Structure 1
């Protein structure tokens, strides 16, 4: 069975799969090693890790494809790739789908913000018309080589047009051919739990630590009908805090002494990177 088919089979109403996000292959390795069944290549995490900038649409489509390809090499679980706005119009979205599919994505997310986009939990967002997004979805569906590659349609319209309008957009995107749906940044528990019932189908929700959406437990979200519960940047936020603490300790004390318990030791680090596999390859080819 291909990973595309596997991913389709996994996404059932109310499945409540936890989907962590990664911005590089190192984070992806830890996600897979922890036993997660699927993961997101987060556009925000790529921007933060790769460029050291906020999620403001500064990563190019080719840079994104390179990250997807590197992550695909490092893990064997299904990958949802964050394709942002498609990097332009419907023709650009079509090219983005082909690039990310070749890079190894098993599903691709397309959103209705204007280009360049910004983080879904930032203020100052704007969205394109429903019809323009419908055209992008149709282009994305036409562009995929494998019909089992899934297209996720995301709407950021809650912040601009209101909750009911975001539901209407989700219905339109589903009708246009999107395989599953994501309404970004609902503001209340009631809104979050109402979405899967208001628009029947496969839904993803995003738990942003410190963001606009209330954080709810997996069981409650699954019972509401969510198939995927995404923690797009939990790994990133954990690593950022750990790096900050370690570097501040080193600056303050001139040594890492006393902080060792907060660090992964050398042997553990090599095990996490599958170093023994490469030692075996060296023996085989030397």
Structure 2
């Protein structure tokens, strides 16, 4: 293989004019070339804001689906999903094999987020940054700067103590309202693009009750939060109370399976003015179940044949990554 020739060829693709009005930019990520349309002129934050605004206007909550890696993100994108999510718990589980107990670092999350934004540059990515990855406002600022620099559309940050827990576990501890306001202010001040989406998550519902959680939400929005994420909601009326207290502020429902929050449908959420429906680990849980079956079958049977229906075929995988298109490009440059 003539690597120099291939590299020059990919670089020469550059810009190809289409008709008289549109340009296609080719970006190369490893061996993957991605075509992006003129809509790429919008920043990631603008794309996410536009989707949220459309959801609010049409009373049709925006579905944001969790992707634990670039391959999962491509699968979601090809199925028509318009926005992606990287879960802090997902990074802990899938990349590090540890509990979601504040063990992951900023760099751990950046690695996975960067891979997703490079694979799916036109699909906005919302990232869970836990408590901001540090004990000072400077840490929060650095987190925002680094997330924005790699093409993330927005983040959500919570009001738990730094030694945080999964939002659906007991014994969560939260910081004072003032400390969370400092975190939000630091995040807002750090962003370069005013459209970068900053969402405030409160875990106060479980320990302080609805009224206190609503009051916190009011102050978080006043501090500059663009949207709200009330964790571990157990009744639709709780969303309704937040939406009534803060009309026009986008509200997210976290529909994580096997947690405290019932898995309400989009129609039910729309009726209580929820604008965003988040499915943080649905695909990961399905992938884990399938892998568990395969590993057990291999151990017991010595073959994958009994569980072949659990597997993507080779062509299924190729379709996700556009393998044949890339192989044709390689064939072209190797033949010259």
Bin for the TM-score computed over the shorter chain: over 0.9
Alpha-carbon separation, structure 1, partners of 2:228 and 2:234 = 17
Alpha-carbon separation, structure 1, partners of 2:150 and 2:163 = 22
Q: 1:65 offset after TM fit, Å? A: 1.0
Number of the residue aligned with 2:48: 7
Segment of structure 1 superposing worse, 145-154 or 186-195: 186-195
The structure whose Rg is larger is 2
Q: Verify: 1:65 aligned to 2:113, yes or no.
A: no
Residue 140 (structure 1) aligned to one of 187, 192, 202? 187
Alpha-carbon separation, structure 2, partners of 1:145 and 1:280 = 40
Query: Does the 8 Å contact 1:25/1:74 carry over to 2?
Result: yes
Number of the residue aligned with 2:63: 18
Alpha-carbon separation, structure 2, partners of 1:47 and 1:34 = 26
Number of the residue aligned with 1:181: 228
Q: How does 1:25-104 map to 2 (within 5 A)?
A: 25-75=70-120, 76-88=122-134, 89-104=136-151
Alpha-carbon separation, structure 2, partners of 1:86 and 1:277 = 40
Alpha-carbon separation, structure 2, partners of 1:285 and 1:223 = 56
Number of the residue aligned with 2:316: 268
Number of the residue aligned with 2:212: 165
Q: What's the CA shift string for 1:70-96, capped at 9, x where partnerless?
A: 000111211111111001221111110
Q: 1:284 offset after TM fit, Å? A: 4.9
Alpha-carbon separation, structure 2, partners of 1:7 and 1:115 = 28
Alpha-carbon separation, structure 1, partners of 2:115 and 2:323 = 17
- SS of the residue aligned with 2:293? helix
Compared with structure 1, are the counterparts of its residues 192 and 269 closer, same or farther at alpha carbon in structure 2 (3 Å cutoff)? same
Q: What's the CA shift string for 1:138-162, capped at 9, x where partnerless?
A: 1100100111111001111111211
- SS of the residue aligned with 1:11? helix
Alignment length (residue pairs): 286
Q: 1:202 offset after TM fit, Å? A: 0.7
Structure of greater relative contact order (alpha carbons < 8 Å, 6+ residues apart): 1
Q: How does 1:126-137 map to 2 (within 5 A)?
A: 126-137=173-184
RMSD: 1.4
Number of the residue aligned with 2:265: 217
- SS of the residue aligned with 1:258? helix
Q: 1:285 offset after TM fit, Å? A: 4.2
Q: How does 1:190-229 map to 2 (within 5 A)?
A: 190-200=237-247, 201-229=249-277
Number of the residue aligned with 1:152: 199
TM-score (norm 2): 0.82
- SS of the residue aligned with 1:84? coil
Segment of structure 1 superposing worse, 7-16 or 97-106: 7-16
Alpha-carbon separation, structure 2, partners of 1:69 and 1:20 = 17
Residue 287 (structure 2) aligned to one of 221, 228, 239? 239
Alpha-carbon separation, structure 2, partners of 1:175 and 1:152 = 12
TM-score (norm 1): 0.96
Any runs of at least 4 consecutive aligned residues in structure 1 with deviations exceeding 3 A, and if so which? 283-286
